[in-house]
Amino acid sequence: MTTNGIDICEWVGALKDHKPYYMAITDFHGNLSFTNSHFYNNFQSAKASRTGFFDLVHENDRQHLDETLTNCSMSEEAVTTELRLKNGSFRWIKWKISRVRKPEIMSEKFLCLGYEMTPEEQQKKNMEIFERNYQGRNALFHSFMDHTPYFTWIVDEDENLVFANSVLLKYFQVDETAFGQKLQEIIPGPIAGMIREKHIHALKCGRQDQSIVKSIMADGKEHVYQVIVFPVRGAGPGTLVGGEALDITDSYQAGQQEKRVSERLLYINKATSEAIWDWNIRNGQIYFNQALHALVGTDLGQVFDLDWYYRCVHPDDKEKTEQVLRTVLDRGEQSWEAEYRFLCPDGQYKMMHSRGFVIYENGEAVRMIGSLQDVSEIRKLETQLVKQKLTQQKGIAEAIIKAQEDERTRIGHELHDNINQILASGQLYLNALNSDIDDFQEIKDKTMEILNLAIEEIRTLSRTMVTPDLKKGGLVASIDGLADDLRFGDLFEVSFTHSRTCDIEEMSQGKKIALFRIAQEQVRNIVKYSEAQKVGIALDIDNDRVRLEISDDGKGFDARHTRQGLGLSNIHERTLLYNGKMVLATAPGKGCSIIVNIPLEGREIFLSNIRVSRPENPAEREPGEQR
């Protein structure tokens, strides 16, 4: 009888000498729609919840079952195959599978008839699979051995080479013909001797031995190898020893160098009092030495980052400090230094001087090492020294000016008391001349005119050179006298305005003399050069400075192309003496104006503030005073 393409009688007849057969009907997905009692009792009864054919098949055979069902669906012939099904353990079962064709069956079904293979057949099948897997594993093994950086070998108990990978053969310039030779005939003597000792130790102890081996090679350089030796068991008759080695010379030397550098840094760290920091740019962490931890008041075990660092930099210095670091890294520079204020544990900002050195790897900045030094006291002392020098220079300048003033006073007195008296005596003698000579009167009048002019010039010179007695008349009165001199002869229309006299006269005597000399110098320039008609003088004082302005409507000059004369130089020097500023405003045809601002200090400011806040009595205002 033939059903569904399978001769059942023939198949059952073939099974008469075997165990009872298995019968099952399944679909493409392994869903079982029928099984005979033998199939059920062996595979389904213990797994009532598992009815799938694929669930019963060994995982390595499931793809093969899927391919077999696919082939059956496209063929009219039955397909014979072997599959492993599990019942306690996996059993090899030989199956004959054919497609079931019935009109009432909508989806494809497959009839599976099977019987267990004999032990001899099972062993043969296992050997086929083992051989197939072994060949694959052997190919993988050789591929791995050819690409691993380790030198790999196996020797027998007589040190004969049984196996070596291509890396070892190439390194020692031999080929597979070296198999069977003594290991020391392939590997240089010193290192071969040390490895042989490792082999003996591994065989004696029966466990792996791992160590670092150093040897002087043919190139005269010391090479360092990481060596692992282990006994190989179950690989055949006799005792085998396997081993692998890696040339770690470069990394070992680099590690030793780093160790030496680290030791040096440790000694330096302990020896120096300077605060050292180490910034790992890749992970952003900053490490401190003991001195820096003590300086910034942190725990030695803590690790900090750049955000913490910038939070401690004074807000006014933060942008400048960040810009320094960005510039160094962007330009690939190796060193930098900067000063900034840094927040310390006492809550105070201290002036720090920082230096840094950048370490690059392949053009990339990876570390920055530097130092931090508290220079607060140094900068404080430097500032005090600068102030002291300025005070000394100011004192010297004042002494020079005082000496000049004293010399002028002496010369003025000399002119007034001596030369002037001599000329006056000459005047008396001329008055006693005999009137009998011709043109006597004309000569006498001319001589008298010249003498009077000389006397007047000497008197004017004397008054100019003698230091004004500002204690008597004061600065306001002295400048007012200059204004009166300008008005003499109706050559100039002069205005003089000023703040309250009492406020002005509270200034130091030196400042008042300087301001008077400035006014005197500029008035002289106006008389000699300006060709002006109107002159304005203003002297004002407020909370922190005194301001003197002298202007005229004369012909002016081009300050950019005119050499500064002695008069303007004297004005500039006298202004700088008291840390003041002079502003010159002039142009051809636009007149000339100088403005001098001199700061007030200490008691002068204090008194000025008191007077500014005092109610003003208009009746007490002096003539010419401004409000």
Distance, in Å, from the CA atom of 585 to the CA atom of 593, rounded to the nearest integer, reads 5
Q: Do residues 244 and 150 make contact, with C-beta atoms less than 8 angstroms apart?
A: yes
Distance, in Å, from the CA atom of 191 to the CA atom of 207, rounded to the nearest integer, reads 21
Per-residue pLDDT of 531-580, as tens digits, reads 999 999 999 998 889 999 999 999 998 887 666 666 787 888 889 888 89
Distance, in Å, from the CA atom of 495 to the CA atom of 482, rounded to the nearest integer, reads 11
Q: Rounded to the nearest 10 degrees, what angle do helices 566-577 and 376-414 cross at?
A: 130
Please report, rounded to a whole number, the percentage of residues in the chain having pLDDT higher than 70: 75
Distance, in Å, from the CA atom of 159 to the CA atom of 151, rounded to the nearest integer, reads 16
pLDDT of residue 493: 92
Per-residue pLDDT of 171-225, as tens digits, reads 888 888 888 888 888 877 777 788 888 888 888 888 888 888 887 766 677 888 8
- The confidence band for 130, taking pLDDT boundaries of 50, 70 and 90, is low
Distance, in Å, from the CA atom of 380 to the CA atom of 386, rounded to the nearest integer, reads 10
**Residue ranges in 78-157 assigned as alpha helix (H):** 119-147
Per-residue pLDDT of 608-622, as tens digits, reads 444 333 333 433 334
CA 470 to chain CA mean position, Å: 62
Secondary structure (H, E, C), 149-187: CCEEEEEECCCEEEEECHHHHHHCCCCHHHCCCEHHHCC
pLDDT at 55 > cutoff 70: yes
Q: Do residues 113 and 23 make contact, with C-beta atoms less than 8 angstroms apart?
A: yes
Per-residue pLDDT of 314-359, as tens digits, reads 999 888 888 888 888 888 888 888 888 888 877 888 888 888 888 8
> Tokens in use for 559?
């300050």
> Tokens in use for 308?
């913490």
Facing residues of 91 across strands? 85
Q: Do residues 64 and 125 make contact, with C-beta atoms less than 8 angstroms apart?
A: no
Q: Where do the DSSP E strands lie in 40-108?
A: 79-87, 89-100
Higher pLDDT, 61 or 430: 61
Q: Do residues 392 and 571 make contact, with C-beta atoms less than 8 angstroms apart?
A: no
Q: Do residues 151 and 167 make contact, with C-beta atoms less than 8 angstroms apart?
A: yes
pLDDT of residue 5: 43
pLDDT of residue 535: 95
Q: Rounded to the nearest 10 degrees, what angle do helices 440-465 and 420-431 cross at?
A: 170
| Overall average pLDDT of the 276-304 stretch | 72
Looking at this protein, which amino acid is placed at residue 75? Answer: S
Distance, in Å, from the CA atom of 223 to the CA atom of 215, rounded to the nearest integer, reads 5
Distance, in Å, from the CA atom of 175 to the CA atom of 483, rounded to the nearest integer, reads 117
Per-residue pLDDT of 435-489, as tens digits, reads 677 777 776 777 777 777 777 767 666 666 656 666 567 899 889 888 888 887 6
Looking at this protein, which amino acid is placed at residue 145? Answer: M
Question: What SS3 class is residue 524?
Answer: helix
pLDDT of residue 426: 64
Distance, in Å, from the CA atom of 326 to the CA atom of 313, rounded to the nearest integer, reads 16
Distance, in Å, from the CA atom of 243 to the CA atom of 226, rounded to the nearest integer, reads 11
Per-residue pLDDT of 219-244, as tens digits, reads 677 888 888 888 887 655 567 888 88
pLDDT of residue 171: 80
- Please state the φ and ψ torsions of residue 434, each to the nearest 5 degrees: -75, 135
Give the range among 63-67, 74-78, 237-241 with minimum mean pLDDT.
237-241
Question: What SS3 class is residue 560?
Answer: coil
pLDDT of residue 178: 83
Per-residue pLDDT of 394-422, as tens digits, reads 777 777 777 777 777 767 666 666 566 66
Instruction: Please count the other Cβ atoms lying within 10 Å of the Cβ belonging to residue 361.
Output: 9
